[in-house]
């Protein structure tokens, strides 16, 4: 991640990462009179008469204050309140994305803990809970303890308890896998800050004996009688021991928990731990010891880190959003130990459940099983909300700190309705791509946006980019835009040693279409032809192009050089439209002007198979201006015929038509007005009757509906080729490169996983029907 990129991310458009969004209409004079004077007086009077009605008439019950004074921000130290604001905004974003909680980030301009305490106490009428963040130790302990005693809303210091809760779940499962009893293990901590002390205390409540814990800080082991650099919180773990260094402490230890700095532990130290050591190296971004360093000396170790590129990521986002969700939904007066324990046990139990294929697909895996490399759930597993929030809420009820009672089944339904799966789709694809990156050729290699996107692909580990163009031009443009070209390949079509091979390949493919050898050589000067030849000849896995060209200019070379898959016969373009709480796929939006019924069925079949690779079960609507024969014309009957053909080709698909768009998107209408429909859920794959309808519809949805459009995803090509929208921005390019890599990965999986392998051609299939 480059400095300039991070700064641009925060500065572009509206500065910052969060905004206040109204939840009620304000479009006319009547709305104004209700939202403000005189109508607003009525809820004010109700709240005055019954203070609890503040939860009924205002947003307090869904509002969290993220409070800091900037004295311990990340690994940056005491940088001040204002400098810590980007972190607090980021925290607010996570609250919203993972638990649908609204946030005010509040930076207090004082290092006096009593000022922070008074500030938070004065917030109690405004917010439903307070998340303390990035406050130095030991002030953070004093502040949280005081607020919990004096306030009647949940107060939670995530830096302390987040790591404790999540690593506690990992610990329980690691002990089960290695056959240990929790009251007999020896645990060593590297670090004695807020997170380490809170985690050690949480482990004690889980069953670890306090006398079996050794804690170390910069001065070495914290032992009974040690003088200097001590405080009451460290003193709780000052045990009698002859160990004075972390190396001494780790001899025969069962568990290591690192909350300190990179390199704090060596392989030699790990070698002397007990059999099947449990190693939680949680320093970020570089852990105390890297997993491969552990494996080099102990192949029996269980390892967790704080990083997403290794198994068993201990990420606080598995905790705080869902803890506050559960706490606020029962109007808990505090976050007590019972609620923290419930969160830990819920995470530990969820990891033992069968992982749905859709969740595994988000992380680029075919299957995930509980074991040494899957101790705790993935952060983007949507089930975490449905397990942790109810567990926390019920623990609050059972421990008598809740002011509202919940029905657990109904509560889970409410949680499911809060968040759709859309938020995780693109992140899931990126995870899949980065698990096995492939080479992607970009014919427009001299375009600054392409170069920037290529750099991001390298930084994220998504792809191995190949830029086409003159090296001196690409290097000059990259330098002007402060873009690193490290790990980015550059190929000049004019001077490439592969050029003659590609000329002959193109000529052999097109010689019966009237193309001469000299004409083939001339066409290879066009970077799209050159890039298509790279993919066709196996020198690149996928092609992404089109940011500066019209669609036909990009797709024509790919069709001539690569062509459609022989089992597909119909190439089509599909857009993935990502809304806040849903994802909708639209096809065909870019290629076929007036497809036949057979082609529509093939488009629907191919779209459904691609959608499944994204971990989504397709519900397909074949669209028209008619509902199930309400209008009988050749164009509506074509769509009805296409639906019939598609059902016959794959009876397992949920598909119906012809139907209108509003019918397809309204399950209640389908149930009440068309109970015979085979589409029993809201459609998420929309197949349009012609190009005009599809192209117009996706653009309206994107511009008026606020959807993020990813596409066009070119479906039906022999090899991965994906076309960008003219003028696409950098993130669009990165998204499309991600899709291209996943597409390439799928084509190297067993035949059944690719839409067309092992099946008769569309023409043959439909002729049988």
- CB count, 10 Å around CB of 692? 11
Tell me which of 60, 85, 91, 567 is the catalytic residue. Answer: 91
- Pairing relationship of beta strands 187-190 and 155-157 according to DSSP bridges: unpaired
Q: Report the alpha-carbon distance of residue 711 to residue 698 in Å, rounded.
A: 10
Helix (H) or strand (E) holding 89: helix 85-99
Asked if 209 is an active-site residue, the reply is no
C-alpha dist (Å) from residue 414 to 151, 429, 491, 582, 599: 28, 27, 54, 16, 41
Instruction: Of 334, 145, 178, give the one whose Cα is nearest residue 254.
Output: 178
d(C-alpha 429, C-alpha 613), whole Å: 10
What 3-state DSSP class applies to 43? helix
36 given a catalytic annotation: yes
Tokens 């035949």 belong to residue = 751
Q: In what helix (H) or strand (E) does residue 213 lie, and over which residues does it extend?
A: strand 213-217
Instruction: Spell out the residues 6+ positions from residue 8 whose beta carbon is closer than 8 angstroms to its own.
Output: none
Cα 360–Cα 361–Cα 363 angle in degrees, nearest 5: 70
CA distance 110 to 135: 11
Q: Which of 158, 156, 153 is nearest to 331 (CA)?
A: 153
Q: How far is CA 697 from CA 275, 623, 685, in A?
A: 61, 11, 13
User: Does residue 102 contact residue 64 with C-beta atoms inside 8 Å?
Assistant: yes
Residues 6+ apart with CB under 8 A from 497: none
Strand 302-305 vs strand 278-281: parallel, antiparallel, or unpaired?
A: parallel
Q: Return the number of other C-beta atoms located less than 10 Å from residue 538's C-beta.
A: 9
Q: Which residues of 283-301 are buried (b: 16+ CB within 10 A; e: fewer)?
A: beeebbbbbebbeebbeeb
Alpha helices in 151-245 (DSSP H): 158-178, 194-206, 232-235
CB burial of 308-325 (b: ≥16 within 10 Å; e: otherwise) equals: eebbbbbbbbbbbbbbbb
CA-nearest of 658, 95, 38, 34 to 389 is 95
- DSSP code string of 423-438: HHHHHHHHHHHHHS-E
CB-CB contact of 533 with 524 (8 Å): yes
- Angle in degrees, CA 311, 290, 464, rounded to 5: 70
Look at residues 768, 484, 528, 759 and name the one whose alpha carbon lies nearest to residue 648: 768
Q: Which of 36, 48, 152, 581 is labelled catalytic?
A: 36
Which residues have a catalytic role annotated?
36, 91
């Amino acid at each position: 991640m480059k400095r300039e990129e991070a700064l641009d991310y925060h500065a572009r458009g509206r500065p910052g990462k969060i905004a206040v969004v109204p939840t009620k209409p304000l479009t006319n004079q009547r709305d104004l009179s209700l939202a403000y004077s005189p109508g607003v007086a009525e809820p004010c009077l109700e709240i005055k008469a019954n203070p609890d009605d503040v939860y009924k008439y205002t947003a307090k019950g869904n509002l969290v204050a993220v409070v800091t004074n900037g004295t311990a921000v990340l690994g940056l130290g005491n940088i001040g309140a204002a400098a810590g604001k980007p972190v607090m905004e980021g925290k607010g974003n996570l609250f919203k994305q993972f638990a649908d909680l609204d946030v005010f980030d509040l930076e207090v301009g004082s290092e006096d803990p009593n000022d922070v305490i008074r500030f938070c106490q004065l917030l109690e009428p405004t917010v439903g809970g307070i998340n303390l963040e990035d406050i130095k130790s030991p002030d953070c302990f004093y502040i949280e303890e005081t607020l919990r005693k004096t306030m009647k809303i949940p107060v939670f210091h995530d830096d302390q308890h987040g790591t404790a809760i999540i690593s506690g779940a990992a610990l329980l499962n690691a002990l089960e896998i290695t056959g240990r009893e929790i009251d007999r293990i020896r645990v060593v901590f590297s670090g004695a800050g807020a997170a380490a002390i809170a985690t050690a205390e949480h482990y004690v409540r889980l069953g670890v004996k306090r006398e079996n814990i050794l804690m170390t800080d910069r001065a070495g082991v914290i032992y009974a009688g040690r003088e200097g650099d001590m405080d009451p919180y460290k003193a709780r773990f000052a045990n009698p021991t002859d160990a004075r260094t972390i190396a001494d402490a780790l001899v025969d230890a069962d568990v290591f928990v690192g909350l300190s700095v990179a390199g704090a532990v060596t392989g030699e130290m790990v070698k002397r731990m007990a059999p099947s050591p449990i190693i939680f190296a949680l320093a970020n971004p570089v852990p105390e010891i890297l997993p491969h360093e552990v494996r080099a000396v102990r192949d029996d170790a269980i390892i967790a880190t704080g990083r997403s590129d290794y198994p068993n990521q201990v990420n606080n986002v598995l905790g705080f959003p869902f803890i506050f969700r559960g706490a606020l939904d029962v109007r808990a007066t505090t976050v007590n130990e019972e609620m923290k324990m419930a969160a830990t046990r819920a995470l530990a139990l969820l990891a033992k459940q069968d992982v749905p294929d859709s969740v595994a697909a988000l992380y680029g895996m075919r299957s995930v099983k509980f074991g040494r490399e899957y101790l705790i759930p993935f952060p983007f597993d949507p089930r975490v909300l449905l397990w942790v929030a109810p567990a926390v809420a019920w623990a609050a009820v059972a421990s008598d700190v809740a002011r509202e009672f919940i029905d657990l089944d109904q509560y889970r339904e409410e949680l499911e309705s809060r968040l759709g799966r859309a938020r995780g789709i693109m992140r899931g694809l990126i995870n899949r791509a980065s698990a096995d990156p492939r080479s992607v050729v970009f014919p427009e290699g001299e375009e600054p946006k392409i170069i920037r996107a290529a750099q991001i692909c390298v930084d994220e580990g998504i792809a191995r980019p190949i830029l086409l163009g003159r090296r001196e031009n690409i290097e000059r443009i990259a330098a002007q835009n402060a873009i690193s070209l490290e790990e980015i390949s550059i190929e000049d079509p004019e001077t490439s040693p592969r050029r003659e091979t590609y000329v002959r390949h193109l000529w052999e493919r097109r010689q019966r279409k009237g193309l001469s050898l000299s004409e083939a050589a001339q066409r290879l000067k066009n970077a799209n032809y050159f890039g298509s030849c790279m993919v066709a000849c196996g020198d690149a896995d996928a092609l992404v192009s089109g940011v500066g060209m019209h669609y036909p200019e990009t797709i024509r070379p790919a069709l001539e050089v690569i062509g459609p898959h022989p089992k597909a016969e119909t190439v089509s373009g599909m857009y993935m439209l990502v809304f806040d709480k849903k994802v909708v796929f639209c096809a065909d939006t870019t290629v076929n002007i007036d497809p036949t019924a057979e082609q529509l069925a093939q488009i629907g079949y191919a779209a459904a198979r691609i959608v499944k690779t994204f971990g989504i079960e397709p519900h397909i609507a074949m669209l028209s201006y008619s509902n199930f024969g309400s209008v009988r014309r050749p164009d509506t009957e074509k769509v009805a015929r296409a639906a019939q053909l598609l059902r016959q080709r794959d009876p397992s698909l949920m598909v119906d038509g012809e139907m209108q768009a509003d019918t397809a998107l309204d399950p209640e209408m389908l149930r009440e007005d068309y109970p015979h429909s085979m589409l029993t859920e809201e459609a998420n794959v929309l197949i349009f009757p012609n190009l005009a309808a599809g192209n117009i519809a996706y653009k309206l949805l994107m511009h008026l509906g606020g959807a993020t459009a990813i596409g066009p995803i070119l479906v039906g090509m022999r090899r991965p080729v994906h076309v960008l929208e003219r003028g696409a921005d950098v993130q669009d390019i990165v998204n499309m490169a991600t899709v291209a890599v996943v597409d390439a990965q799928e084509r190297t999986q067993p035949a059944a996983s690719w839409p067309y392998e092992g099946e008769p051609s569309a023409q043959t299939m439909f002729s049988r029907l």
